[in-house]
């Protein structure tokens, strides 16, 4: 039985026990979370497992899947997570428990295998091989932009999606 099948089976067992009142709710919840923690390899979560445990994609242009709130107490301390602002952080026992549509404002970057995006080309000015896409909020919404940390080049224009920002950068000339 795969871990996804085990998680689905555990979910069904938990829901059934919850509704028929076999156990005390707090005890049942603790047993469920302990069993779930034993099944999840948080450092190697696949898209299939992420969906089975209720992780939700932050937005269409992102590969960040947010943790459902109920997992807050079992996320391992020291796990590298990504915030909704695309900041990479290390999970601590004092992380903010702010939620977005039932999920924490933190998650993991999980690549969808069928969503191969165009690779970023080096900076046309300084030849830096690792420019990055940055996202930031302005009054009218979220902006995506490619930025070179070496020479400071960015753009060439703000784009409304990560893919458009990459495409614009890759077609940029000096």
Q: What is the pLDDT of residues 114-144, one digit of tens each?
A: 444 578 899 999 999 989 888 777 766 678 8
- Of 172, 163, 171, residue with least CA distance to 112: 163
**CA distances from residue 161 to 51, 58, 70, 99, 146 in whole angstroms, order as listed:** 23, 13, 30, 23, 11
- Which pLDDT belongs to residue 34? 93
Statement: residue 100 has pLDDT above 70: yes
Instruction: State residue 115's pLDDT score.
Output: 44
CA atoms within a 13 Å half-sphere pointing along the CA-CB vector of 68: 12
Count Cβ atoms within 10 A of the Cβ of residue 52 and give its class: 0-12 exposed, 13-18 middle, 19 or more buried.
Answer: buried
Q: Percent of the chain having pLDDT more than 90?
A: 44
Residue 160, pLDDT score: 66
Cα–Cα distance measured from residue 148 to residue 26, given in angstroms and rounded to the nearest whole number: 50
pLDDT at 103: 95
| Domain residue spans of the chain | 1-39, 53-116, 118-174
Instruction: Give mean pLDDT, residues 6-32.
Output: 79
Alpha-carbon distance of 27 to 132, in angstroms, equals 46
pLDDT, tens digit, 9 for 90 and up, residues 61-93: 889 999 999 999 999 999 999 999 999 999 999
pLDDT band at 8 (very low <50, low <70, confident <90, very high): confident
Q: What is the reported pLDDT for 119?
A: 84
Q: In which residue are the tokens 């919840």 written?
A: 29
């Amino acid at each position: 039985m795969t871990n996804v099948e085990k998680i689905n089976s555990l979910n069904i067992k938990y829901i059934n026990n919850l509704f028929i009142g076999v156990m005390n709710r707090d005890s049942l919840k603790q047993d469920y979370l302990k069993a779930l923690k034993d099944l999840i390899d948080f450092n190697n979560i696949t898209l299939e497992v992420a969906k089975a445990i209720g992780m939700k994609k932050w937005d269409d242009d992102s590969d960040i899947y947010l943790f459902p709130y109920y997992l807050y107490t079992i996320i391992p301390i020291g796990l590298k997570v990504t915030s909704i602002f695309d900041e990479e952080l290390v999970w601590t026992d004092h992380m903010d428990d702010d939620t977005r549509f039932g999920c924490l404002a933190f998650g993991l970057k999980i690549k969808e295998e069928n969503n191969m995006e165009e690779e970023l080309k080096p900076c046309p000015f300084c030849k830096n091989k690792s420019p990055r896409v940055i996202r930031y909020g302005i009054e009218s919404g979220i902006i995506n932009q490619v930025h070179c940390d070496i020479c400071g080049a960015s753009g060439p224009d703000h784009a409304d999606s990560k893919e458009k920002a990459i495409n614009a950068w890759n077609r940029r000339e000096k």
